[in-house]
Amino acid sequence: MRDHFINKYLTHDIRYHNNIDDRDTPDHWTDTALLELENITGEYLYREFSDCNQYALINEFLRVKDKTKVIVEIGVARISGTVLYEHTSTTILINNKNDDTIYIGIDIEDKKFLEKEKPNVHTIQAKSEDYSTIKQKFDELGIKHIDFLFIDGWHSVNQVIDELFYVDYVPPGGVVGYHDTNYHPGPSRIISALKPEMFDVRKHCINKIDWGVGFATRK
C-alpha cells in the first residue's frame, strides 16, 4: 500500500529518512534553535499553532471556503477537559466553515463534544490508518470527495505516507494541508516530495522559528 501511494503521489521514496524514534520528534533542530523557541514566550508550548500558522490557514481556507463542501482534519486540536483551546486549526476550520459544509475530525481520542459546536460537525475516534472504520463513516455521510484536507496527526514518515490514502478523495482544485512542515520528519519530507505535476505547493512560516505549515492544491 505504501509503495502504491509513493509511486502515485511522490517524486521519490522518503522512507530512508524514517528512524525508529521519529514518531513525533523534530529531527534536525540545533540546540540554539530549541533554546530560542523555548524563550519566545512562556505560552508558546500551549499554542503550537502559531500566529503565522493561523494566518496561513485562514487565508488558504477562505480562498476556497465557498467551494468547500467537505473538510477532513486528521489530528483534532488539543483540549483541556472538554474545552477546545482557542487559535487552533480545529477552531479555525469549524468557526469559518459554512453551516452546510461537512467537517469530519479524525482523532485517536474522543472529540465527540465538538459535534455541538456547529451544524454538520462529525468526529471519528480512530487511528487515521484504520481505513475501514473511517470509510464506513464516510459512506454513512455520503462522502465521495474531500475538498479541504488538513493533516496534523502523528508525524512519522510512514504515518504521513499512510495518510496519502485520503488524498485519493481530493479532486482537482481541492487542498491538502500539513502542519509541522519545518522540522518534523513526516510532514517536512512529504510536502517537499509531492509531485509538481499533480500539486501546486505553498509553504508558509519558513523563515522563522516556527513549526511551519504547508498547502498543496491538487491540479
pLDDT digits (tens, 9 = 90+) for 168-178: 999 999 999 99
- pLDDT the model gives residue 28: 47
Q: What percent of the chain has pLDDT over 70?
A: 80
Cell numbers linked to 95: 468557526
Cα separation, 14 vs 71, whole angstroms:
27
51 pLDDT tier (thresholds 50, 70, 90): confident
Of the candidates 177, 157, 190, the residue with the CA atom closest to the CA atom of residue 218: 177
Q: What is the pLDDT of residues 116-163, one digit of tens each?
A: 879 999 999 999 999 999 999 999 999 999 999 999 998 888 899 999
pLDDT at 80 exceeding the cut of 90: no
Q: What is the mean pLDDT of residues 100-104?
A: 98
19 pLDDT tier (thresholds 50, 70, 90): low
Q: What is the mean pLDDT of residues 23-34?
A: 46
Q: Is the Cα dihedral 111, 85, 77, 215 positive or negative? A: positive
Cβ-based burial of 3 (10 A; exposed 0-12, middle 13-18, buried ≥19): exposed
- pLDDT the model gives residue 27: 47
pLDDT at 13 exceeding the cut of 70: yes
Cell numbers linked to 115: 459535534
Q: What is the mean pLDDT of residues 90-97?
A: 94
- Choose between 28 and 17: higher pLDDT: 17
7 pLDDT tier (thresholds 50, 70, 90): very high
- pLDDT the model gives residue 47: 52
pLDDT at 17 exceeding the cut of 70: no
- pLDDT the model gives residue 45: 42
State CA 199 to chain mean position distance: 16
Cα separation, 128 vs 105, whole angstroms:
10
> Within 10 A of 67 (CB to CB), how many other CB atoms are there?
12
Average of per-residue pLDDT values in the chain: 85
Q: What is the mean pLDDT of residues 203-216?
A: 87
